[in-house]
Amino acid sequence: MKTKTETPAVELKSNHMRTIKIIGVGGAGVSLLDTLDGVEFAGAGMVAINTDGTSLAASAAMVKIHLETKLLRGLGTGGDAERGQAIAEEQFSTLKTACGGADVVLIISGLGGGAGSGISPVLARAAKETGALVLAFVTLPFLCEGNRRQQQARQSLEQLKSVADGVICLPSQKAFKLIDENTSVLDTFRITGGLLVEGVRGVWQLLTRPGLIQIHFDDLCALVRNRHSESSFAFVEASGAGRSREVVEKLLIHPLLDEGRALADSDAVLVSLMGGKDLTMAEVNRVMEQIGRHCEHVQIIMGAAVDMRMRDRLSVTVIAAKHNAAAESSAASTPATTSGDQGGQMISRGATARSGARCGTSAPAFNLEQREQLLAKNANRPRKAASKMRQEQLPLAIISKGRFDKSEPTVHKGEDLDIPTFVRRGVALN
Amino acid sequence: MFDESNIIVGLEIGTSKVCAVVGEQGDDGSLNIVGLGQSRSRGVRKGEIADAAMVEEDVRNAIVEAEQMADVEIRSVYLGVTGGHIRGFNNRGVHPVVSADREISKEDVQDVVKNAKAINLPAENTIIHAVRQHFLVDGHGGVTDPVGMLGARIEVDMHVVHGNTNRLQNAIRLVKGLQLKVEEIVSSGLASSLALLTSEQKELGALVIDIGAGTTDYVVYADGVIKHTGVLAVGGDHVSNDLGHGLKVPLSRAEKLKLEHGSALVDETMIGRTLTITNELGLPLKTINVEHLQRIMSLRLEEIFQIIASDLEQAGLTDYLRAGVFLCGGGARVPQMAPLAERILQLPVSIGQTNSISGLKSALDQPEFVTAIGLAKFGSVKSRRTDGKTSIAQGIKSTITSFLRR
């Protein structure tokens, strides 16, 4: 019901008229935006947002927004998400105008850094306030990139989930399964980026190509809107005689779908098939039957479309939305973020976020005064300082692992089992 | 003395001992244990080779002892492997039946098995075992042999055990360096379960826990097939190490204390009692509280069972183990082990017995030798299977080649 009141105009427009904006945020987002093929994505409004001027200068996007204040001294966010968030809050109106007039806003961003993690949630909120459907495509950093980036990325993901309609999240670590030993760093990043771009392309095709069996815009909205869920997606392609079988096999071993498990775990699945004009009904049927068997009690929305350029290829995009009960309940208790009394709303938002202990908190909004305080505080802080003060503890006794000192540690659920059990459990022997 | 072709040898390179078991396969396929060789292992940590030269010597000693006892020349072995890198998981393969009459052919079965094996393993890992569980035809489960049935789609569940290629190769290369052929590598846990469980117990559902010095291997059978395997790189060495740390005694002493006074549960009558350890001249060195000793040990062993219990719970297998739990390996000797395991796993626990094999009583009664016996049993099952297929011509050929190989 919320949907209807928010975007009455959208329901009336035809499928082709929808304005879609693709917004790249942060260094990763901007460079991924550039990899999107201009011809294929003709008609989309490309917007690049970053705090770093050089990355923007290199971008080919039509609209570039440079978030800058003198407090940053032209140095970007320095990998600090709080700083990114503060500056995004400051320029909230700019972000809102950037999203204006779009029915669907696709946010592309690499979480973990300062700009991506900080700005994306705020941008999602801004886009939501303009009444658009917000889908975020984000990558999580590799584990080797360090704790802090992981933490920032997780936090930002939670915030995104609570504001955006749908978050499609690609943990880069999963892409490790796709690469082998010899893949260079450059290729690895291209592959992870490529996966994300495939997802964007899948949704794009879904929204713009004429369908034989159409997926209505409403269907997509119904699937993702206000679900605040984390979805898995996969885009696979095959050609030749056995292509329908091949795509299903590829789907079921797709690392991003956890080898098909994500399908069974999800509570709604959207399947979009796209083929050349030789696409047969039997093929569509075969693919759907196989997918249906893997997710029996799941709502499936399917669409099929023909693209002359596809020749004998068949591509399938699957978005599996997982139910997020915690976030849903928090969404229900949070008033809809359309417009109006900003201040009051933010207070209630903050309150729900605080009370709902585990569920994701939305990007906190600051008033002007707070915002300036935070920015000033951040700018005055030494650049290298850790984001949180941590009380260091010196180990009271050095625990020797005895004969296992030099062997590979046996770690089970984060515990080093080589350390004597009684020491880890703190059993006193007197 | 014996016909060489009927000799099957299981070799286990364990953390505390290297053990070779010689089995003779009768014409009816039954296995008779005729020889056993063992040697203290000095170069293995957590089930994996740490000092190749030492291990080589130990293996040689064990093999020589086994050869002498059985009066045979050992040429090939079934090698047991273990280590924290070994993992098992279940996988399902799917294959559509394409033939016009929808009859499932042998090729279809081969294809579906191949599909089930085609898993995304890390590049550096290899499959040790891929064990068939059940087939599903058009979604109907419980099919053991689908050849000849009609159906549109065939699926198979497999249990796949895999490990790091390099670490597996280390052991294989070492054995090959001693001019022994490695017939096959077998995961230790699987070998132990093979030696202990009867087919009835496998059908009912059983858990075998092999607590060695370096690793604890466990295998779950249900409905006659392997459902779950796991290796935990924690074992008796850890107990000794904990004791050494907690009681502040050297490792060798801790090991001895463990054997003499250890218990899996704290003995109430021992509370307050102390032990005086003496040096070789009989002078008192240190006084040790027996309760502490047993408490340290109990906590460690308890933790091992807890980890296994939580793993099984996660796999949803606890309700399938109607035949109970069987313990083996050196750890099974610890007094009060079964009651401790019973308390944590909430299942009947007993010390495993190798009943289905005849031969040396001295070897069969020891829980430490279960894995090596299981390896020989694995070999006998394997060779029984291939025996049926070899023709006379092939038999002659193989005798000639083996003759030439000398």
pLDDT in tens, A233-290: 777 888 877 787 888 888 877 777 776 677 777 777 878 888 877 778 888 888 888 8
Classify domain A1-228+324-381 by CATH number. 3.40.50.1440
Question: Chain A: residue nearest B292 by CA?
Answer: A429
With left for phi above 0 and alpha for psi between -120 and 50, is residue A413 left, alpha or beta?
left
CA distance B71 to chain A (A): 38
- Closest by CA to A241, choosing from A185, A284, A283, is A283
The CA-CA-CA angle for residues A274, A309, A106, to 5°, reads 55
| Whole-number pLDDT of residue B306 | 94
| Residue B17: closest CA among B184, B233, B47, B191 | B47
Q: What is the mean pLDDT of chain A?
A: 71
Residues 6+ apart with CB under 8 A from A288: A271, A300, A302
In a 13 Å sphere around the CA of A162, the CA atoms on its Cβ side amount to 27
- Look at the block and give the residue holding tokens 């249906």: A292
**What length does chain A have?**
430
Pairing state of beta strands A411-412 and A415-416? antiparallel
Q: Is residue B406 part of a domain?
A: no
ipTM above 0.85, yes or no: no
- The tens-digit pLDDT sequence of chain B (406 residues) is 555 668 999 999 999 999 999 999 888 878 899 999 999 999 999 999 999 999 999 999 999 999 999 999 999 999 999 999 999 989 888 888 888 888 898 988 998 988 888 777 888 899 999 998 989 998 888 888 889 889 888 999 999 999 999 999 999 999 999 999 999 999 999 999 999 999 999 999 999 999 999 999 999 999 899 999 999 999 999 999 999 989 989 999 999 999 999 999 998 888 888 888 888 788 888 889 999 999 999 999 999 999 999 999 999 998 899 999 999 999 999 999 999 999 999 999 999 888 767 887 777 788 999 999 999 999 998 887 765 555 555 555 566 666 555 5
C-beta atoms of A410 and B96 within 8 A: no
Number of domains in chain B: 2
Give B132's strand partners. Answer: B158
Region of residue B194 (phi > 0: left; psi between -120 and 50: alpha; otherwise: beta): alpha
DSSP 3-state of A339:
coil
Which chain B residues contact residue A177 at CB under 8 A? Answer: 120
pLDDT, average across residues A398-415 = 78
Partners of B245 on chain A (C-beta within 8 Å) are 399-400, 402, 420, 423
Cβ–Cβ below 8 Å for B299 and A407: no
Q: Testing the interface with B: which of A244, A422, A423 to mutate, by most B Cβ within 10 A?
A: A422
**CA contacts within 13 A on the Cβ side of B180:** 27
Backbone angles phi, psi at A313, to 5 degrees: -90, 155
Calpha distance A194→A202 (Å, rounded): 12
Do β-strands A268-275 and A299-306 pair in parallel, antiparallel, or remain unpaired?
parallel
What pLDDT shows up at residue A326?
42
Within a domain: B236: yes
Helix (H, G, I), strand (E, B) or coil at A249: helix
Identify the CATH number of the domain in which residue B335 sits: 3.30.420.40
Residues of B with CB under 8 A from a CB of A: 45-46, 50, 84, 94, 96, 115, 118-120, 123-124, 139, 232-234, 237-238, 241-242, 244-246, 251, 289, 292, 295-296, 299-300, 302-303, 307
* Segments making up each domain of chain A, as ranges: 1-228+324-381, 231-323, 395-430
User: Residue A384's pLDDT is what?
Assistant: 44
pLDDT value of position B303: 94
> Range of B273's domain?
215-353
Q: How far is residue A189 from each of residues A178, B83, B113, measured CA to CA in Å?
A: 12, 33, 34
Mean predicted confidence (pLDDT) in A293-307? 76
End-to-end CA distance of chain B: 18
Q: What is the pLDDT of residue A359?
A: 37
Q: Between A and B, how many CB-CB pairs are < 8 A?
A: 80
Which of A74, A48, A92 lies closest to A342 in space, CA to CA? A92
Instruction: For residue A127, count CB atoms less than 10 angstroms from its CB and return exposed for 0-12, middle for 13-18, buried for 19 or more.
Output: buried
How many other β-carbons are positioned within 10 Å of the β-carbon of residue B177?
A: 11
Given an 8 Å threshold on Cβ–Cβ distance, is B242 in contact with A420? Answer: yes
Residue A281 CA to residue A387 CA, distance in Å, equals 56
Percent of chain A with pLDDT over 90: 0
C-alpha–C-alpha distance, residues A138 and A193, integer Å: 10
User: How far is Cα B68 from Cα B72, in angstroms, rounded to an integer?
Assistant: 7
Helix or strand or coil: residue B319? helix
Does a structural domain hold residue B32? Answer: no
Q: Tell me whether strands A45-50 and A63-66 are parallel, antiparallel or unpaired.
A: parallel
Distance CA A194, CA A48 (A): 18
Beta bridge partners of B276: B287
DSSP state of A145: G
The alpha carbon of residue A428 is apart from the nearest alpha carbon of chain B, in Å, by: 9
Is B268 within 8 Å of B305 (Cβ atoms)? no
Residue B12 lies in a domain: no
**Residue B80 within any structural domain of the chain:** no
A153 has pLDDT over 60: yes
Q: Give the strand pairing for A166-171 and A229-239.
A: parallel
Q: Is residue B17 part of a domain?
A: no
Kindly determine whether residue A422 and residue B295, on different chains, have CB atoms separated by under 8 Å.
Answer: yes
Q: Name the band, by pLDDT with cuts 50, 70 and 90, for residue A410.
A: confident
CB-based contacts of B294: which residues, under 8 Å, 6+ apart? Answer: B261, B262, B263, B265, B266, B267, B270
Q: Using 50, 70 and 90 to split pLDDT, how confident is the model at A343?
A: very low
**pLDDT score at A346:** 36
Residue B254 and residue B147 in one domain: no
Residue A53 pLDDT? 75
- The structure tokens listed for A379 are 């700018």
Q: Residue A151's closest CA among A228, A82, A50?
A: A82
Which residues is A387 bridged to in the sheet?
none
The identity of residue B44, as a single letter, is V
Q: In this complex, do A403 and B300 lie within 8 Å of one another by their Cβ atoms?
A: no
Residue A157: is its pLDDT beyond 70? yes
Closest Cα to residue A181, out of B173, B335, B125? Answer: B125
- Give the CATH number, domain containing residue B130: 3.30.1490.110
Name chain A contacts of B241, Cβ cutoff 8 Å.
Answer: 401-404, 418, 420
CA distance B30 to A371: 82
Same domain? B241 vs B123: no
Q: Measure in Å the smallest separation between the Cα of B349 and chain A Cα atoms.
A: 23
**Which two structure tokens, joined as six digits, stand for B94?**
């799917």
Interface test with B, best of A421, A424, A429 (most B CBs within 10 A): A421
Domain-embedded: residue B156: yes
Flag if A418 and B238 touch (Cβ within 8 Å): yes
Segment A344-385, tens digit of pLDDT: 333 333 333 333 333 333 344 445 555 555 555 544 444 444
How far does the CA of residue B401 sit from the closest CA of chain A (Å)?
A: 40
Measured CA distances, B321 to B207, B216, B312, B318, B325 (Å):
7, 19, 10, 6, 8
Binary contact (B295, A293; C-beta < 8 A): no
* Facing residue for B300 by CB, picked from A401, A402, A421: A421
Number of H helices and E strands in chain A, helices first, is 18, 13
Per-state percent for chain B, helix, strand, coil, to nearest 5 = 40, 30, 25
Chain B residues whose CB is inside 8 A of the A427 CB are: 295, 299
Of B84, B96, B299, the CB nearest to A427: B299
C-beta separation of A98 from A134 below 8 A: no
Supply the pLDDT for residue B54.
Answer: 94
Which candidate, B300, B348, B302, places its Cα nearest to that of B326? B348
- By C-alpha distance, the chain B residue nearest A294 is B139
Residue A332 has pLDDT above 60, yes or no: no
Alpha carbon separation from B22 to A393, B76, B357, B369, B373 (Å, rounded): 56, 11, 12, 12, 8
Phi, psi of B9 (to 5 degrees): -120, 130
Distance from CA of A129 to the nearest CA of B (A): 43
Q: B230 and B156 in one domain? A: no
Contacts of A50 (CB under 8 A, 6+ apart): A25, A26, A27, A29, A30, A56, A65, A66, A67, A76, A115
Please provide the CATH number assigned to the domain covering A231-323. 3.30.1330.20
The residue whose two tokens read 């014409």 is B27
Lowest mean pLDDT among A157-166, A178-187, A282-291, B292-301: A178-187
Query: Does the pLDDT value for residue A16 go beyond 60?
Result: no
Contact B241 A418 (CB under 8 A): yes
Choose the closest CB to B96 out of A245, A418, A422: A245
Nearest chain B residue to A180, by CA? B123
Non-local (6+) Cβ contacts of B188 within 8 A are B12, B47, B80, B81, B82, B210, B212, B215, B217, B231, B371
Task: Name the interface residues of A facing B (CB cutoff 8 Å).
Answer: 177, 180-181, 245, 249, 252-253, 255, 259, 293, 399-404, 407-408, 410, 412, 417-418, 420-423, 425, 427, 429
Cβ-based contacts of A179 with chain B (< 8 Å):
none
What residue in B sits closest to A255 (Cα-Cα)?
Answer: B120
Cα of A402 to nearest chain B Cα, Å: 6
pLDDT given at position A6: 41
Same domain for B263 and B336: yes
Question: Is B267 part of any domain?
Answer: yes
Whether residue A395 is predicted with pLDDT greater than 60 in this model: the reply is: no
Q: Taking the mean position of all CA atoms in its chain, how far away is CA B400?
A: 34
